[in-house]
Structure 1
Amino acid sequence: MRVLVTGDRGVLGRAVRAAVEADGHVVTGYDLASGDDVRDAAALASAALDQDAIVHLAGLPGDQEDNPDQVMAVNLAGTWNVLLAARATGVRRVVHASSGKALGMLERDPDYLPVDDRHRGLPSKPYALSKWLSEEMCEAFTRDTGITTICLRPVFVADEAAWEKLSEQAELPPARGAAWHLGAVVDVRDVANAFVAALTCPDPTHARLLLCADDVAADRPTVEVLREHLPDVPWRGASLGTDSRTALADSAAARSVLGWSPRHGWWNRGGRRGS
């Protein structure tokens, strides 16, 4: 398969590109660091010629407090241009990098736990809103064109450097100036593997899929974490034992649609040190 990967020179982009190539696909990169801008619709359409799929990772990775308009402009216009390029060139599958923040994580307590892909979205911060609206755009585009769109929603993505910083922590630290993050983390290698799986999985038409490690990012049981942080949020998952370390974000849909499961988590700090 020939795959155009936007944002292939970023931290996640490098991991995804390597995994896609390791799976035997031929990758064409498209990154601002190489002079390629997703806001340039004509250039993007040209890059998409003769491609079988597009993996869309390019975009501003978080809230820019001094320039929220830029986040919306790059992330929304970039996604729109990717979708237009797919339609113009006959690409039949687009895999879009969304975020768990599309569900309002870090903005408010969830309606229920574990959070899953049926949870309402409606975020308000620019980055999260750009991801939610991009997902809506993908779904509308699929209804109109029949082109498959798969929106992957990783929670906090930890690469080797991040795991090293977290190696002696007893719990994933709170996000600065934001609400609690649900103790949700996912290894960058697992995220990369999810993108690979999304390229060849049976056609789901349109899907939105949370990606999270199986265990909560804490050295204590899930019930203790819940008692401290979210005692009033209803639990809808399987019954929790006193020693259970079940994650508070549910990746069941990704397992079903992609045949994906995370291999790394907090208990062994991404597989880089023992518990």
Structure 2
Amino acid sequence: MKIALTGASGRVGRGIAELAVAQGHSIVGIDRVPKHEELPEAVSFIQGEMDDYDALVAAFDGCDALIHMAAIPSPGRHPDHVVHNNNVVGSYNALRAAAENGIMRICQASSVNAIGHAYSRHPRYDFFPIDETHANYSEDPYSLSKWICEQQADSFARRHEGMTIASMRFHYVVPERAMAARVYPADGPNVDKHLWAWTNLNAAADACLRSLNGTFTGHEVFYIVSPTTTVEVPSLELAARYFPDIPVTGDLSGLRSFFSSAKAERLLGWDHDAAMAQAQ
């Protein structure tokens, strides 16, 4: 499969490119910054901006699928309007350029923050573990941009029958759990803004590639999060200590994550820990 990959020089983009090439796919990488030295040599690379629609149409020519990872990854690094507008316009342009090229298999980066989370003043959760049915309480420009990107995907899937789009809600994508554990300890500050969650880099890449061959139709949102937390404290104990008023409506036994990725496991055949082990 020939895959257009935006944000190819970023951390997740590089992970996707490496796994895709290993699986025999060809990659056309697109990024606003130069080709990263860690990208496989086999990756064909085009430097360009996501707001250059005509350039995207040309870059996607001849591709069978699109993985759109290009975005400003958090608020605070740029003015709010820049974060929001960059992500929303970039996603629309990528989806529209794909449609113009007849590309019907698409994966795009969303975030656990699409419902409001790490960048909210006071995150609001209705139940644990959080799944795709949870209400949206986004309030910051980054979270709002990710929510709108998902709504845009709904629109494109309605407009183009046969198009499949997967929006991937990642949480702090890193190569190993130990790295996440240092950032999100059991008794650290602002536990309500991270919930001790993380995603392995190779597992994130595996989910993206699996989504291109998914059996679902239209647009689907998936939580792509490790099934276990960053800490060795039982999750039910953490819930009782920090969130005594939030109902536990699913499995929080052992070290289970406060986010449920059961939908990705069911529809994509995705296994976080198996994909992580393959990279070791």
Same fold, judged at TM 0.5 (above): yes
Partner SS for 1:234: coil
Matched, 1:150 2:166: yes
Q: Distance in 2 between the 1:3 and 1:264 partners?
A: 24
Residue aligned with 1:95, SS = strand
Deviations 1:245-266 (CA, angstroms, capped at 9, x unpaired): 111100011111110011179x
C-alpha distance in 1 between matches for 2:230 and 2:7: 28
Q: Where do 5+ consecutive residues of structure 2 fail to align? A: 35-46
**Paired letter, 2:3:** V
Give the Cα–Cα distance (whole angstroms) in 1 for the partners of residues 242 and 91 of structure 2: 35
Aligned to 1:221: 234
Q: How does 1:117-132 map to 2 (within 5 A)?
A: 117-132=132-147
Structure 2 distance, partners of 1:173, 1:25, is: 41
Which residue of the partner structure matches residue 200 of structure 2?
187
Cα 1:56–1:173 change in 2 (3 A) is farther
- Closer, same or farther: CA 151–169 of 1 in aligned 2, 3 Å: closer
Match of 1:256 in 2: 266
Q: What amino acid does structure 2 have at the position aligned with 1:61?
A: P
Residue aligned with 2:13, SS: helix
Equivalent residues in 2 for 1:147-186 (5 A)? 147-160=163-176, 163-164=178-179, 166=181, 170-171=185-186, 173-174=188-189, 179-186=192-199
Which of 24, 28, 50 is 1:38 aligned to?
A: 50
Residue 68, structure 1, aligned to residue 83, structure 2: no
Superposed CA deviations along residues 134-166 of structure 1, whole A, max 9, x for unmatched, are: 000001110111221110111122235x83474
Cα pair distance change 1:168/1:71, threshold 3 Å: closer
- Matched AA of 2:138: P
Is 1:89 aligned to 2:101, yes or no? yes
Question: C-alpha separation between the residues in 2 aligned to 1:100 and 1:168?
Answer: 17
Label 1:70 to 1:84 Cα distance change in 2 as closer, same or farther (>3 A). Answer: same
Structure 2 residue aligned with 1:29? 29
Distance in 1, Cα, partners of 2:75 & 2:140: 7
Per the TM alignment, residue 122 of structure 1 is displaced from its structure 2 partner at its CA by: 3.5
Question: Any conservation in 1 of the 2:51–2:90 contact (CA below 8 Å)?
Answer: yes
Q: What's the RMSD between the two structures over aligned residues?
A: 2.2
Deviation at 1:3, TM superposition (A): 0.2
Please give the residue correspondences for 1:235-274 in structure 2 after superposition, counting only pairs within 5 Å: 235-238=248-251, 244-263=254-273
Show the counterpart of 2:65.
Answer: 53
**Once the 2 structures are TM-superposed, how far is the Cα of residue 216 of structure 1 from its aligned partner?**
2.1
TM-aligned CA deviation for residue 169 of structure 1: 7.3
User: What is the TM-score with the length of structure 2 in the denominator?
Assistant: 0.87
Change (3 A) 1:70 1:261: same
Q: Is the CA contact (8 Å cut-off) linking 1:172 and 1:183 kept in structure 2?
A: no
Counterpart for residue 3 of structure 1: 3
Using a 3 Å threshold, how does the CA distance of structure 1 residues 181 and 215 change in structure 2: closer, same or farther?
same
Give the AA of the match of 2:273.
R
Name the SS of the counterpart of 1:124 in structure 2.
coil
Relative to structure 1, is the Cα distance of residues 39 and 263 closer, same or farther in structure 2, using a 3 angstrom cutoff?
Answer: same
Q: In the superposition, relative to structure 1, how do residues 223 and 128 fare at CA in structure 2: closer, same or farther (>3 Å)?
A: same
The amino acid of 2:9's aligned partner reads R
- Bigger Cα displacement from structure 2, 213-222 vs 8-17: 213-222
Residues 60 and 71, structure 1, Cα contact 8 Å, conserved in 2:
yes
CA deviation string 1:17-65 (max 9, x = no partner):
1111112111000001133111100000101111111000001010036
Q: Percent identity?
A: 28
Q: Is the 8 A contact 2:180 2:230 kept in 1?
A: no
